[in-house]
Structure 1
Amino acid sequence: MLQIDLNQLPSTDELPCSDDTPVDNEDQNLLPNLLLFLLCSIWSERMDWYFGVDMAIYHTTGINPRVPVVPDAFLSLGVERKKGGKSRKSYAVWEEEGTVPILALEMVSHQPGGEYEAKQSLYANLGVLYYIIYNPEFWQRDRHQPFEVYKLVNGSYKLQIGEPYWMPEVGLGIGRSEQVMGGIKQELLAWYDSQGDRYLSDDERAEAERQRADDAQQHVEKLLARLRSEGISEEDLS
């Protein structure tokens, strides 16, 4: 077992923020960031969480604490939104009072990146409770499902059943959803509540409010038109 002197560990100021591995499709940037933006709305009053996108996680459970793992996204609970009031350059477990991310997300690329083997083992050793693999295009090639949630049970990941999948330790569910983005209908990842209802974005909530207001106005106009047809004027009503 690797022996680590915690006093000799580097700071995040000394470490690269990522591994500079380019993504091979736009969704690898888009989908994790949509989850982040939505979480900023859902948990806007909470200051005890951090969601990283394409950010290096440095830890002491691998071959070297200077060698990070870089998920497409991860979530940590019980940490500062802004560490010391500043944005993080990377996430070093030893600078977060030993707090390991509770969730990691990997999106499978055209070139397999060990999501089902090496990375799964790495996240298990690190102690990440939930490991999510999103593989909408190459799941048949890899002989897996397009969306899989694994939970760490007695040191090993067990595939979970159900979608959206509710994570009580996180207080959120996660799953896929058909949505319209920029006028294009596509499959996205989304957060869900305990009832299985998808959390709406700020734009979606605003549109829903506008639609409710329009529906209410149309209802009033139809009611007034019916009353007028029956010989009752608005002055009579007032």
Structure 2
Amino acid sequence: MSPEVAIETDLSPDISKLAIEDDTPVDNLISEKQQRFLTEPLYSNASALGGRTFLLAANVGVFYAVRQPPLVPDVFLSLDVEVPQAWREKKNRTYFVWEFGKPPDVVIEIVSNKEGNELGSKLHDYARMGVAYYIVFDPLQQLGNEPLRSFEQRAGRYQEMSTFWLEAISIGLTLWDGTFEGKDDRWLRWCNAEGVAIPTGAENAEQERQRAEQERQRAEQERQRAEQERQRAEQAEAKAAQLAERLRAMGIDPDA
């Protein structure tokens, strides 16, 4: 009887001839800056996601079937996944759903014009892929009066939400009026349950600088108070010495 031989079978699709990158320009300056404003803060504040591992990327293809073209979200977030150390290998250079074992949890599309079909085919494509949350940010209000819309997948279809808090992953999104890299605008940002924006690395550094400056000022105030106390003590001691000297001049022993 022949011994049994274990045969390892690689069930991953053949991607050797699959194009995963191209050189087509895809975005304008506003979208590019907004994408970075969404990706950088979470990498600077990993605790914002409760310490869970994650992959957050902009303009990276998401392949959900080997014979289908990828979807290329402006931004996507996938929790509890990690990019392998051997990320130069072709299978690790983009987001193959079968390699990571799940679709992204959140997809964000930033509307630049009316041709992106963010509320049409993309809505259906991301639902079919299994993305839990789909966010459409329309800063120029190309698609209507609402600059921000959110959708949650329920029973294989998206239902529009009345909130931008993503309950299943404990993070939210908020519109924020302010300055990023010298540009004043209304930006889309990640936020906590209280609606407070997750800070960028630069904002963290500025907050730390301000805390250090406040601590320096408190230390300086304490030094000045100590110096004032020392001067008051010296003045009191000098007055006591002068009084004692006058008493002695009058023939009175100040120590009696």
TM-score grouping bracket, smaller chain normalisation:
0.7 to 0.9
Aligned to 1:142, the other structure's residue is in SS state coil
2:189 maps to 1:190: yes
Identity value in percent: 28
Aligned to 2:72, the other structure's residue is in SS state coil
Of 43, 50, 53, 1:48 maps to: 53
Take 2:19 and 2:231, find their aligned partners in 1: how far apart are those partners?
70
Q: 1:124 Cα shift?
A: 0.8
Q: Which residue of 2 aligns with 1:65?
A: 67
Q: 1:66 Cα shift?
A: 3.7
- Quick one: which amino acid aligns to residue 73 of structure 1? V
Q: Which residue of 2 aligns with 1:74?
A: 76
Q: 1:42 Cα shift?
A: 1.9
Q: Which residue of 2 aligns with 1:123?
A: 126
Alignment of 1:16-165 (within 5 A): 16-18=19-21, 20-43=23-46, 46=51, 48-60=53-65, 65-80=67-82, 82-86=83-87, 88-97=92-101, 99-137=102-140, 139=141, 141-162=142-163, 165=164
Aligned length: 220
**8 A Cα contact 1:102 1:130, kept in partner:** yes
Unaligned 5+ segments in structure 2 are 1-9, 235-256
Structure with the bigger percentage of helix = 2
- What RMSD, in angstroms, separates the aligned Cα atoms of the two structures? 3.0
**8 A Cα contact 2:138 2:148, kept in partner:** yes
Moved more, 177-186 or 70-79: 177-186
Instruction: Provide the TM-score with structure 1 as the length reference.
Output: 0.78
Take 1:50 and 1:76, find their aligned partners in 2: how far apart are those partners?
5
**8 A Cα contact 1:58 1:69, kept in partner:** yes
The C-alpha deviation readout for 1:37-79, integer Å capped at 9, x for no partner, is: 211122279573212211111113xxx6341111111111222
Q: Which residue of 2 aligns with 1:177?
A: 176
Take 2:212 and 2:22, find their aligned partners in 1: how far apart are those partners?
48
Take 1:119 and 1:108, find their aligned partners in 2: how far apart are those partners?
12
Take 2:216 and 2:80, find their aligned partners in 1: how far apart are those partners?
45
2:206 maps to 1:207: yes
Take 2:122 and 2:210, find their aligned partners in 1: how far apart are those partners?
45
Take 1:158 and 1:171, find their aligned partners in 2: how far apart are those partners?
19
Moved more, 40-49 or 199-208: 40-49
**8 A Cα contact 1:224 1:234, kept in partner:** no
Larger Rg: 2
The C-alpha deviation readout for 1:109-139, integer Å capped at 9, x for no partner, is: 23421100000011111111100111111x2
Take 2:81 and 2:161, find their aligned partners in 1: how far apart are those partners?
27
Q: 1:154 Cα shift?
A: 2.0
Q: 1:24 Cα shift?
A: 4.2
